[in-house]
């Protein structure tokens, strides 16, 4: 299998990528990372030394892609499916910018 996703099922940033993969029926090999387990952590850091997940490794292209939004853009470009994961209309790009810049509602003052 070409795509390997390194993630932890309790990390919400990983859910975003899992939803994208499942939504488009993109085949991938899941690898659950337990940073509390020395062996699991060491194996993962060989792939991504920063040690943050999710990380997607595409064996067919020999590319390692970190961060949920970047992974989704990569999937949209290289493994498109029936669901448009990233808007093609440049006028809608402001939505993607907000996802990277604006803090979640629950972390804003007064909410």
Domain boundaries, the chain: 3-86
pLDDT tens string for the chain (111 positions)? 699 999 999 999 999 999 999 999 999 999 999 999 999 999 999 999 999 999 999 999 999 999 999 999 999 999 999 988 887 776 666 665 666 566 666 665 655
CA–CA gap between residue 26 and residue 102 (Å, rounded): 29
Residue 78: alpha-carbon gap to chain centroid: 14
pLDDT for position 101:
61
DSSP conformation class of 2: -
pLDDT for position 105:
62
Q: Whole-prediction pTM value?
A: 0.80
pLDDT for position 23:
95
Domain 3-86 bears CATH identifier 1.10.357.10: no
Structure tokens at 43: 């194996």
Structure tokens at 17: 């990528």
Task: Catalogue the E-assigned strands of 1-111.
Answer: 3-7, 29-32, 55-58, 63-66
Structure tokens at 13: 């940033």
pLDDT for position 85:
85
DSSP bridge pairs for 70: none
Neighbour count for residue 17 (Cβ, 10 Å):
26
């Amino acid at each position: 299998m070409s795509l390997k996703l390194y993630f932890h099922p309790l990390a919400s940033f990983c859910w975003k990528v899992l939803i994208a993969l499942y939504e488009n029926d993109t085949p991938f090999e899941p690898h659950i990372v337990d940073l509390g387990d020395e062996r699991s952590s060491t194996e993962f850091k060989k792939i991504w030394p920063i040690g943050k997940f999710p990380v997607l490794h595409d064996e067919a292209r020999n590319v390692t892609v970190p961060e949920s939004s970047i992974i989704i853009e990569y999937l949209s470009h290289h493994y498109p499916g029936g669901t448009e994961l990233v808007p093609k209309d440049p006028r809608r790009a402001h939505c993607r910018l907000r996802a990277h810049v604006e803090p979640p509602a629950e972390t804003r003052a007064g909410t």
